[in-house]
A and B are shown apart, each in its own frame.
Chain A
Amino acid sequence: MNSARAEPSAPGGVSHLVEHLFREESGKMIAVLTRIFGLEHFQLAEDVMQEALARALQTWPFYGVPANPAAWLMRVARNLALDVVRRHRSFRDKQPEIIRLIEGDSAVAEQPVFSDQEIADDRLRLMFVCCHPLIPQDAQAALALKTLCGFGIAEIARAFLTSEAAIAKRLTRAKQRLRDEGIRFEIPAGAQLEPRLEGVLQSLYLLFNEGYKASAGEMLVREEICGEAIRLAGLLAQHPAGNQPRTHALLALMLLNAARGPARVDADGNLVRLSEQNRTRWDAAKIARGMFHLAQSAAGGQLSEYHLQAGIAACHCAAPDYTTTDWARILSLYNQLAAMDPSPVVALNRAVAVAQVRGPQAGIDAVAQIQSQGTLESYYLFHAVLGEFEAQLNHWAAAQAHFSKALELVEMKSERAFLTQRLRVCAEKISARCPESSTSFVPTIERSKINRERAKTYENK
């Protein structure tokens, strides 16, 4: 049999789908179905979504991908939903109303079943539900990934470096809360909108940090988490209810940090410091998008922490290399950030900028001035930063003490290797009693740690 002939085969066209299509569409389907069934039938919405994907899985391999796969899925989900409403006893009272809602004016075939606007509204409603202040913070992230982003439990567990059972428990707890508190499937309006939007931004920020924060392994999954946080923030920024300068600032800060992702890890999976990153590997498209949203965020008089953090990230992205970075501007942004957020981690980041502008002794002084330094004691970067400042001043014994302490606190392989190397230099310098400095390297804390306190104060409101 001659297989070289390129004539079209019986099953239709393409075998490849848009990347993450099922994930993306499942998020849309769940949002729409939740509106149809009501938030109390959340599980039903998930089941119908799953069944719609199953129908695709059963038929597409044989017949090929339909011309508009997204519309196909939504249509199947709609038909399955109609079926459910007709069969389920709990819908009996509202049946005609719901059926009208589902059928809408979509009698014309090939017409999208639900308009883009309807879907966008429903996804935003779902976003406000997932990020509701009455749902515990860690459950919010899991719920958002499961429902809005179409992640499976195993995928969420892998991203959070925890067990599937732990994630399942969080989800159950979150859904319980939804029922118990009678949380509504709606976009908050009026005076409600402002604080609730703040909560959503906060949750997306934490979600992003969860993906960005560099702990051991699983970089790929974590990049996806960052990608999802960016996607959701993008949806929010596009919607009239979320189109606020702060939303754009958050989006800019995510994009400008994520843009550096490809250069943050070397071939062996080790973290690469900002000063040593190959900047040609930074994602130019993300930087451009980030700069665009940073410009958008300047509309109006608002200046949020997201603005300042985005501004700092922009300084790094705009610099051709580490030494020509506009440290004076970064310091000024950190000064403002420190005034807004008294977190010691922000103050530590600021100290690094101080040292870049005014020298290592000024850096040490800035560290000494940090309020509540005690909370930093267990943070390895605190000791590593001080070690670098002392090393630059040729205070090798002091540097050695700081690096040793840092090494005790860090688990990450790449960081351990770096600190061990710094300790070797210290030992050489001390034994040679050589007064020269061999390095001008200062590690940079790329980002502030997650500030969970803020999330908590919000919950108490």
Chain B
Amino acid sequence: MKTNNQSGYMLLFIGMDWHKGLSPEQMQKVSEDWMAWFQDLTQKGKAVAGHPLGPEGKVLSGKNRAVTDGPFAESKEAIGGYFLLDVATIDEAVAIARQCPGLPYGVKVEVRPVLSECPLQAKLPAEEQLATAQ
């Protein structure tokens, strides 16, 4: 990974009902574009993983470990899938997200850094050096 305090970025595709009202022809077009997009990123080594998420699931919460159907009130807000990108900067991740073929149809893409270790630990070696120097 690029730096020792984060390991790439995740693209979260938000919205599970954006395809409603699209014609079969449009759905085929988006499918093909999305497929080509992911394939290209994978071949270039920019995308290292990616999966779609199903619409139905469970939510556990509370002391009682209560299980409810979910996980979301609104399918508009649900996460429909993700890509894990191996890129160094958020700018590059955003540039990739910008190409998402679902954007014109209402998909939202959230770009989040993936943290690999506690960011505070990155400072530790310096402190250790300081300590040993004394």
Contacts and interface: CB of A to CB of B under 8 A. Distances in A.
Interface stretch (A146-154, A170-178, A233-241): A146-154
A17 B45 contact: no
Given A62-B51, A62-B52, A11 B25 contact: no
B113 interface: no
B122 interface: no
B27 A61 contact: no
- Centre residue among A54, A56, A57, A154 by max chain B CB count within 10 A: A57
A61 B37 contact: yes
Given A57-B19, A59-B52, A62-B81, A152 B35 contact: no
A22 B37 contact: no
Interface in B34-52: 34-39, 42-46, 49-52
Contact of A10 (B30, B42, B52, B86): B42
A50 B42 contact: no
Contacts of A151: 23, 25
Contacts of A20: 25, 28
Nearest to B21: A152
A22 B51 contact: no
A152 B23 contact: yes
A60 interface: yes
B45 A1 contact: yes
A58 B56 CA distance: 14
Contact of B44 (A3, A17, A153, A155): A3
Contacts of B59: none
Contact of A54 (B19, B37, B38, B39): B19
A64 B24 contact: no
Interface in B43-102: 43-46, 49-52, 80-81, 86
A412 interface: no
Contacts of B27: 22, 53-54, 56-57
B25 A17 contact: no
Given A1-B44, A61-B35, A62-B38, A50 B20 contact: yes
Interface in A36-67: 50, 53-54, 56-62, 64-65
Contact of A3 (B26, B36, B43, B80): B43
* A: contact size bracket: 20 to 34
Given A3-B45, A11-B42, A61 B34 contact: yes
Interface string A105-121: 00000000000000000
Contacts of A2: 45
29 contacts: A1-B44, A1-B46, A2-B45, A3-B45, A9-B39, A11-B42, A15-B36, A16-B32, A16-B36, A17-B28, A17-B32, A21-B28, A22-B24, A23-B25, A53-B19, A53-B28, A56-B27, A57-B34, A58-B81, A60-B35, A61-B52, A62-B52, A64-B39, A150-B24, A152-B23, A152-B24, A152-B25, A153-B23, A154-B23
Interface of A: 1-3, 9-11, 15-17, 20-23, 25-26, 50, 53-54, 56-62, 64-65, 150-155
Given A57-B19, A57-B31, 20 more contacts: A3-B45, A9-B42, A10-B42, A11-B38, A11-B50, A21-B28, A22-B24, A23-B23, A56-B31, A57-B27, A58-B80, A58-B81, A61-B35, A62-B38, A62-B81, A150-B23, A150-B25, A152-B24, A154-B23, A155-B25
